[in-house]
Amino acid sequence: MATLFNKNNQQPVINGVLFDLDGTLLDTAPDMTNALNLLLKEEGKEPLSYEACRDFVSHGSVAMVTLGFGDQQTTTELEHRCQRFLYLYEKNLCVDTKLFDGMDETLRFLEECHIQWGVVTNKPEFLTLPLLDQLNLTKRACSIVSGDTLKQRKPSPEPLYLAANQCGCLATECIYVGDAERDIIAGNRANMCTLLASYGYIDESQNPIEWGANGVVEHPEEILEWIWGYAD
């Protein structure tokens, strides 16, 4: 069986795995779709299907509201609807949200192997921390860096550097997993191994092969294969 140590058997090659949140660690699309549909209902509009909304979740509130109301909104209308969307989402934050299939097993395996894991997301802290709390993940993560923890957000590498430091790792000892182009850009800028979560929220207009990730994972447990690969 492969080990997590280098050829001299002295120290782990990969000491940390960092995850984007929406569309990578957690399947948040059901609750974000529900929040958008509540907003649409308030304004007398028809709801959208989960399938129509799913791949826009990683792009945040502006993308979701634009999906629901179109791109002809005034700046004032868009800002008001985004605020209302976030309010409705916060009130129904963790109804159907869950870890992606296979992710809990992946996290437990990392923990058993004493490999640190953390979260680096552009989601604001007032949503990130309560969500992770409700899923009993906060104490398990060695680092949680939200979109407003620093002045810089992804695609800046600064949030990833902070997370690696909080996990006691060098950036070059970390894998960063994400489902958006900004995730891969940030990870590459931080000199981390970058993995594209193809199971995440990627819409048809995007061409993720061009993003420059080191690899693609179709299931969370495939992340572990990359750790073995680094150890070979």
Q: What is the pLDDT of residue 86?
A: 97
Q: Answer yes or no: is pLDDT of 9 > 90.
A: no
Q: What is the pLDDT of residue 33?
A: 98
Out of 75, 91, 107, pick the residue that ends a domain: 91
Confidence (pLDDT) at 85: 98
Please say if the pLDDT value at position 7 is more than 50. no
Percent of the chain whose pLDDT exceeds 90? 88
Joined together, the tokens standing for residue 196 give: 């594209």
pLDDT of 228 > 80? The answer is no
* Residue 117 · residue 18 · CB < 8 Å: yes
Residues 135 and 48 in one domain: no
Residue finishing a domain among 91, 113, 131:
91
Residue 117 and residue 77 share a domain: no
Please determine, for residue 66, whether its predicted confidence score (pLDDT) is greater than 70. Answer: yes
73 assigned to some structural domain: yes
Mean pLDDT, rounded, for 97-120 = 96
Q: How far apart are CA 58 and CA 61, in angstroms?
A: 9
pLDDT bucket at 232, cuts 50 / 70 / 90: very low
Share of residues in the chain with pLDDT > 70 (%):
93
Give the pLDDT confidence score for residue 227 in this predicted structure. 84
Q: What is the pTM of this model?
A: 0.91
Q: Are residues 84 and 116 in the same domain?
A: no
Secondary structure E strands in the chain: 16-19, 26-27, 98-99, 116-120, 143-145, 174-178, 193-197, 215-217
Same domain? 77 vs 114: no
pLDDT band at 229 (very low <50, low <70, confident <90, very high): low
> What mean pLDDT, rounded, does the chain reach?
92
The verdict on 122 and 217 lying in the same domain is yes
Question: Are both 121 and 153 inside the same structural domain?
Answer: yes
Does any domain span residue 5?
Answer: no
Q: Please check whether residue 6 lies inside any domain of the structure.
A: no
Range of the domain at 63: 29-91
**124 and 71 housed in the same domain:** no
Per the structure, the count of domains in the chain is 2
Known catalytic residue at 71: no
Mean pLDDT across 60-84: 96
Output the pLDDT for position 146: 98
Domain shared by 227 and 175, yes or no: yes
Residue 3 lies in a domain: no
Q: Are residues 224 and 121 in the same domain?
A: yes
pLDDT given at position 131: 98
Q: Is position 71 within any domain? A: yes
Same domain, 227 and 149: yes
- Please state the rounded mean pLDDT for residues 119-148: 98
In a domain, 110, yes or no: yes
Which is catalytic among the residues 20, 27, 31, 183?
Answer: 20
In a domain, residue 4? The reply is: no
Examine the domain organization and report whether 224 and 110 are in the same domain: yes
Find the mean pLDDT for residues 121-134.
97
What is the CATH classification number for the domain harbouring 212?
A: 3.40.50.1000
Asked if residue 221 and residue 190 are part of one domain, the reply reads yes
Instruction: Tell me the pLDDT tens digit for each residue of 23-45.
Output: 999 999 999 999 999 999 999 99
pLDDT digits (tens, 9 = 90+) for 181-220: 999 999 999 999 999 999 999 988 899 999 999 999 999 9
- CA dist., res. 228 & res. 29, Å (int): 31
- Residue 6 pLDDT > 80: no
Report which of 58, 212, 87 is spatially closest to residue 147, judged by C-alpha positions: 58
